């Protein structure tokens, strides 16, 4: 299968190995992966901040870049949500309507793609650590992804998956919310971390690098020796 990779700007800039991991896994499974280099961003930062005209210009580009792709995979539940849930409701441009519908119904969050499209749970990974998974909100409540990443992680050799009791609670990132309401965001993040620490896990994983950036920033600042890692990187490890 030919798969077009959508790499969110935050992954491109700060966590490129998340996307590298996705490429490796998909190739290992025998698929062809392409990266349309003209892509930039889905427009979510402006959209969520209320700047819809600006967001629209950026979103339209993304639609054009991916309009020919049959399977689009993204390593972010949040950016996938922007395209699959919000584009169809919001990007009202008659000239683009067909393309919007097409990409909205052909873009998948990575774990959803592996489990539900490729019917693969075991990707041949090995990761000898204790890991806890945080349900990032967009993946959980917009895309309804809950079991997929857990199934994938459970199949990783030597990995011990432990659940925190506040796995579904928001970590407090929320895009510009994190900087506009620093104190509230931090309070939420710290409560999340308390839940993570209680599991005794060495690694905290999730499907959105942005949430992990926020949580990692808090962990580092407080010298808590728990590592953060996108689940795609775990799945790429052998």
Partner 1 sequence: MHDFKQAAHDNLTNTHLRQTLRKSTRTSLLKRSQVVQELGEDTWQQLRRRAHQIKKETIAHLDEYLEQLEAHLTEQGVQVFWAETAAEANDYIIQLAKREGASFVVKSKSMTTEEIDLNPALQAAGINPIETDLGEYIVQLAGERPSHITAPALHKSREDIARLFQEKLGIDYTDNPQELTKIARQKLRQKFLTAKIGVSGVNFAIAENGTLVVIENEANARLCMTLPDVHVAVMGIEKVIPKLEHLPTFLRLLPRSATGQKFTSYVSLIRGAQSSGKAVHLVLLDNGRSEMLADPRFHQALYCIRCGACLNTCPVYQRVGGHTYGWVYPGPIGAILTPKYQGLTQGKDLPFASSLCGSCTDICPVQIDLHHLLLWLRQAVVSSGSDRHLIEAVAMKFWTITMISPLLYRLASRLVRWLPQRAFHYIPGWTETRDFPSPAPKTFREIWNESLK
Contacts with partner 1 by CB under 8 A lie at 7, 9, 11-17, 19-20, 23, 35, 37-41, 43, 45-52, 54, 57-58, 61, 137-138, 141-142, 168-170, 172-189, 213-214, 216-218, 220-221
Which of 137/152 has CB closer to partner 1?
A: 137
Give, to the nearest 10 degrees, the angle between helix 182-199 and helix 209-221.
Answer: 80
Name the minimum Å distance from CB 160 to partner 1: 27
Backbone angles phi, psi at 155, to 5 degrees: -85, -5
Which of 90/130 has CB closer to partner 1?
A: 90
The CA distance from 56 to 31, in Å, is: 32
Name the minimum Å distance from CB 81 to partner 1: 10
The tokens describing 156, both together, are 């990783």
Which of 149/172 has CB closer to partner 1?
A: 172
Query: Environment class of residue 17 by beta-carbon count within 10 Å: exposed (0-12), middle (13-18) or buried (19+)?
Result: middle
Name the minimum Å distance from CB 15 to partner 1: 7
174-183: b (≥16 Cβ within 10 Å) or e: beebbeeeee
Which of 50/94 has CB closer to partner 1?
A: 50
The CA distance from 229 to 227, in Å, is: 7
Which of 121/184 has CB closer to partner 1?
A: 184
| Helix (H/G/I), strand (E/B), else coil: 173 | coil
Name the minimum Å distance from CB 167 to partner 1: 13
- Residue pair 105/84 in contact (Cβ under 8 Å)? The answer is yes
| Helix (H/G/I), strand (E/B), else coil: 33 | strand
Cα-based distances in Å from 181 to 95, 172, 174, 187 = 38, 10, 10, 10
Name the minimum Å distance from CB 5 to partner 1: 9
Which of 25/159 has CB closer to partner 1?
A: 25
Name the minimum Å distance from CB 155 to partner 1: 25
């Amino acid at each position: 299968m030919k798969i077009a990779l959508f790499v969110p700007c935050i992954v491109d800039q700060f966590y490129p190995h998340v996307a590298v991991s996705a490429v490796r896994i998909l190739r290992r499974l025998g698929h062809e992966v392409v990266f349309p280099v003209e892509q930039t961003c889905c427009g979510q930062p402006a959209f969520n901040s209320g700047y819809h005209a600006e967001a629209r210009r950026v979103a339209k580009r993304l639609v054009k870049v991916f309009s020919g792709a049959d399977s689009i995979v993204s390593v972010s539940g949040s950016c996938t949500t922007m395209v699959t849930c919000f584009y169809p409701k919001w990007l009202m441009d008659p000239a683009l309507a067909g393309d919007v519908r097409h990409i909205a119904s052909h873009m998948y969050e990575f774990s959803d793609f592996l489990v539900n499209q490729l019917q693969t749970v075991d990707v041949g990974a090995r990761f000898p650590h204790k890991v806890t998974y945080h349900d990032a909100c967009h993946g959980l409540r917009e895309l309804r992804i809950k079991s997929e990443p857990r199934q994938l992680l459970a199949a990783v050799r030597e990995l011990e998956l432990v659940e925190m009791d506040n796995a579904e609670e928001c970590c407090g990132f929320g895009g510009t919310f994190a900087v506009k309401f620093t104190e509230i965001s931090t309070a939420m993040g710290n409560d999340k971390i308390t839940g993570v620490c209680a599991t005794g896990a060495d690694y905290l994983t999730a499907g959105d690098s942005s949430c992990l950036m926020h949580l990692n920033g808090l962990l580092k600042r407080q010298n808590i020796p728990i590592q953060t890692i996108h689940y795609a990187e775990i799945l790429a490890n052998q």
